[in-house]
Amino acid sequence: MCDAGGVRMNLATGPDPTDLLTLPWSVPLEEWPHEHLVSLPRGISRHVVRFATIGGTVYAVKEIAQETAQREYGLLRSLARAGIPVVEAVGVVSGRATPAGEPLDSALVTKHLRFSLPYRALFSRRLDHDLETKLLDALAELIVKLHLAGFAWGDCSLSNTLFRRDAGALSAYLVDAETGQLHPRLSDGQRDYDLELARTNLGGELLDLQGAGLLSASVDPITTAESVVDRYCRLWDELTRPQTISADEWDRIEQRLRRLNALGYDVSQIEVDEVEGRPEIFLQTQVVEAGHHRRRLQQLTGLDVGENQARRILNDLDTFRAQAVMPGTDVDEAEVARHWKSDVFEPVVALIGPELAAKLEPAEFYHEVLEHRWFLSEAAGRSVPLEKAARSYIDTVLRFRPDERAVLDPTLMGVGQVEAAEDS
Amino acid sequence: MASISFQKAQRWYPGADTPAVPGIDLEIEDGEFMVLVGPSGCGKSTTLRMLAGLEEVNSGHIFIGDRDVTKVPPKDRDIAMVFQNYALYPHMTVADNMAFALKMAKVPKDEQDRRVKDAARILGLEEYLDRKPKALSGGQRQRVAMGRAIVRNPQVFCMDEPLSNLDAKMRVHTRTDIAKLQRDLGVTTVYVTHDQVEAMTMGDRVAVMKLGELQQVDTPLNLYDKPANLFVAGFIGSPQMNLLEGVAANGAVELGGYAMPLGEAAPHAEGKVTVGIRPESWRIVAASEGGLAVVVTVVEELGADGFAYGTADLDGTAVDIIVRVGGREAVHKGETLHVVPEPSKVHVFDTATGERLS
* Whether B320 contacts B311, CB under 8 Å: yes
Distance in angstroms (rounded) separating the CA atoms of residues A326 and B283: 99
**Residue-level pLDDT at A417:** 42
Average pLDDT over chain A reads 81
Domains identified in chain A, total number: 4
Cβ–Cβ pairs < 8 A, chains A and B: 108
- The residue length of chain A stands at 424
| A55, part of any domain | yes
* Whether B289 contacts B339, CB under 8 Å: no
Distance in angstroms (rounded) separating the CA atoms of residues A162 and A116: 6
Q: Which domain holds residue A323?
A: 293-400
Which of A105, A207, A416 is facing B88, going by the closest CB pair? A416
- Beta-carbon neighbour count of residue B303 at 10 Å? 7
Cα–Cα distance list, A90 to A109, A140, A182, A230 (Å)? 5, 26, 20, 35
Both A195 and A122 in a single domain? Answer: yes
| A408, part of any domain | no
Question: Amino acid letter at B295?
Answer: V
Both A91 and A145 in a single domain? Answer: no
β-bridge partners, B206? B35, B218
Both A350 and A367 in a single domain? Answer: yes
Contacts of A65 in chain B (CB under 8 A): 164-165
Both A100 and A128 in a single domain? Answer: no
Both A73 and A128 in a single domain? Answer: no
Distance in angstroms (rounded) separating the CA atoms of residues B330 and A276: 84
- pLDDT per position as a tens digit, B208-256: 999 999 999 999 999 999 999 999 999 999 999 999 999 999 889 999 8
Q: Among positive and negative, which fits the CA dihedral B56, A147, A196, B49? A: positive
Q: Do A184 and B13 touch (CB under 8 A)?
A: yes
| A419, part of any domain | no
Both A316 and A346 in a single domain? Answer: yes
* Whether B332 contacts B296, CB under 8 Å: yes
Q: Do B90 and A208 touch (CB under 8 A)?
A: yes
Which range scores top for mean pLDDT: A126-135, A325-334, B170-179, B238-247? B238-247
Q: What are the structural domains, with CATH classification, of chain B?
A: 4-230 (3.40.50.300), 239-350 (2.40.50.140)
**pLDDT of A423 higher than 50:** no
| Domain end position, chosen among A205, A223, A238 | A238
Interface predicted TM-score (ipTM): 0.73
Q: Is B86 on the interface with A (CB under 8 A)?
A: yes
Q: Do B14 and A184 touch (CB under 8 A)?
A: yes
For an interface test with B, the pick among A123, A161, A418, A424 (most B C-beta atoms closer than 10 Å) comes out as A418
DSSP A7: E
* Cis ω for the linkage preceding A15 (within 30 of 0): no
Both A227 and A144 in a single domain? Answer: yes
Both A387 and A351 in a single domain? Answer: yes
**pLDDT of A288 higher than 60:** no
Q: Do B75 and A46 touch (CB under 8 A)?
A: no
Distance in angstroms (rounded) separating the CA atoms of residues B190 and B156: 8
Minimum Cα–Cα distance from B100: chain A residue: A204
Which one, of B265, B206, B248, B232, lies nearest residue B34 by Cα?
B206
**pLDDT of A44 higher than 60:** no
**Residue-level pLDDT at A342:** 87
Q: Is B137 on the interface with A (CB under 8 A)?
A: no
Both A105 and A156 in a single domain? Answer: no
* Whether B308 contacts B336, CB under 8 Å: no
Strands of A88-94's sheet in order across = A2-4, A7-11, A88-94, A106-111, A57-64, A49-54
* Whether A393 contacts A368, CB under 8 Å: yes
Which of A105, A207, A420 is facing B89, going by the closest CB pair? A207
* Whether A159 contacts B87, CB under 8 Å: yes
- pLDDT per position as a tens digit, B247-283: 999 889 999 889 999 878 788 888 999 999 999 999 9
Distance in angstroms (rounded) separating the CA atoms of residues B139 and B133: 11
Minimum Cα–Cα distance from A152: chain B residue: B54
Contacts of B55 in chain A (CB under 8 A): 187, 189-190
